[in-house]
Amino acid sequence: MNADRAFKDAIYEQIARISRAVMHPRRLELLDLLCQGPMTVELLARKSAMSIGNASQHLQHLREARLVKVSPQGTARIYQLADDATCDLFLTLRSLAERYYAEMREVTDSFLRDKNELEAIEATTLADRFERESPVLLDVRPSEEYDAGHWPGALSLPVEELAGRLAELPQDRTIVAYCRGPYCVLALHAVEVLRQHGFQAVRMAEGVSDWKAQGLPIEKGSNAS
């Protein structure tokens, strides 16, 4: 029995390495960002509003758990997920929090209520809408995330460039803006700008990592706008 117990303790200790690595909310945010594609620590720090030092420390914990790997690219060091299973882990944790914690809905509703932007469509609804009116799908993430993977046929127009490039968009078609997923605010800001300028616009609730998990096709490549 002692040998049996030692065996089980050793196995669960290895599993616990993963739980300890992801127990910090900022590390979960880094995983969410890396689900979009490989990035430098400088880029991850900027997008997560962390110092480079703090981002590096959190990435080190994720590397020690082998959830994240790093490789040199010229003078830069590029961080990426170990594989798609790491992104699946993040999506599973997010889904469980949505299922079990009413606070998730309360925080989300409170944030969206002030923006008067509660409508969000999903991939299945989008497919139906394409059959009827062919909306314009707009990827408002930074261009490097678009290049790493995007909805087939989507236009890349980062949200910080949107106000200066509205003339590139058709006024007579619905604009569907998406970013990193249901809790990314870039698409919300994009819809606000578009509606203020007379466009009919809604946001997509899901992002690239959600579509990959559903087995939907993803395109890679440079800016298609």
Number of domains in the chain: 2
Instruction: Say if residue 119 is in the same domain as residue 160.
Output: yes
Sign of the alpha-carbon torsion through 139, 90, 124, 189: negative
Q: What is the pLDDT of residue 225?
A: 44
CA atoms of 156 and 145, how far apart (whole Å):
10
Low-confidence ranges of the chain (pLDDT < 70): 1, 113-119, 127, 129-130, 223-225
Instruction: Say if residue 73 is in the same domain as residue 24.
Output: yes
Instruction: Say if residue 191 is in the same domain as residue 133.
Output: yes
- pTM, full prediction: 0.89
Q: What is the pLDDT of residue 224?
A: 47
Question: Are the C-beta atoms of 207 and 178 separated by less than 8 Å?
Answer: yes
What strands, in cross-sheet order, belong to the sheet with 76-81? 39-40, 76-81, 68-73
CA atoms of 5 and 11, how far apart (whole Å):
10
Q: What is the pLDDT of residue 116?
A: 55
Q: Is residue 219 part of a domain?
A: no
Q: Is residue 163 part of a domain?
A: yes
Q: What is the pLDDT of residue 180?
A: 96
In sequence order, the 6+-apart residues with CB closer than 8 A to the CB of 55 are: 30, 41, 44, 45, 48
In sequence order, the 6+-apart residues with CB closer than 8 A to the CB of 44 are: 30, 33, 34, 50, 55, 59, 79
DSSP state of 82: S
Task: Pull the structure tokens for residue 120.
Answer: 């969000």
Q: What is the pLDDT of residue 123?
A: 77
Instruction: Say if residue 81 is in the same domain as residue 149.
Output: no
Q: What domain range includes position 7?
A: 2-86
Instruction: Say if residue 65 is in the same domain as residue 159.
Output: no
Q: Is residue 95 part of a domain?
A: no
Q: What is the pLDDT of residue 121?
A: 79
Q: What is the pLDDT of residue 19?
A: 95
Instruction: Say if residue 70 is in the same domain as residue 22.
Output: yes
CA atoms of 131 and 73, how far apart (whole Å):
43
| 179 catalytic residue (yes or no) | yes
Q: Is residue 100 part of a domain?
A: no
Per the residue annotation, which of 35, 87, 179, 184 is the catalytic one? 179
pLDDT tens per residue across span 82-115: 999 999 999 999 999 999 999 998 888 888 766 6
